[in-house]
Amino acid sequence: MGRSEDELVGSAAPQVVHPHERADSLGNIAELLEGRGDEVRREGHYLRPDGTVVWPEAVTQVVRSAAGTPLYVQSALFDVTARKAVEQARVC
């Protein structure tokens, strides 16, 4: 992602999601907060600080209290940029 842990922890996902995909990302988070699922897996375009694009697979979950109240949202990102390049090369 080209960002330090300090930059990512506590940041809002839409800050790093490509502008064309922010609405979908926010919609996925809203569904989780409303209890419509336990996790969301999606691949998309994310922006590095220098403006270049990276493809991660993001796994996003809501962490809840024992009573079921949402406490926070956490995401794990896995860089799939190389795989995407191979997939695109096969199509062309």
Report the C-alpha gap between 25 and 32 in whole angstroms: 11
Pick the CATH number of 5-84 from 3.40.50.300, 3.30.450.20, 3.20.190.10, 3.40.47.10: 3.30.450.20
Q: Would you kindly state where each structural domain of the chain is located, as residue ranges?
A: 5-84
Q: Are strands 56-64 and 70-79 parallel, antiparallel or unpaired?
A: antiparallel
17: number of Cβ within 10 Å: 21
92 pLDDT more than 80: no
Task: Please give the model's pTM, rounded to 2 decimal places.
Answer: 0.76
What's the pLDDT tens digit per position in 32-44?
999 898 899 999 8
11 has a pLDDT exceeding 80: no
Contact 57, 41 (CB under 8 A): yes
Structure confidence at residue 40 (pLDDT): 93
CA proximity to 77, closest of 60, 52, 53: 60
pLDDT in tens, 50-85: 988 889 999 999 999 999 999 988 988 899 988 988
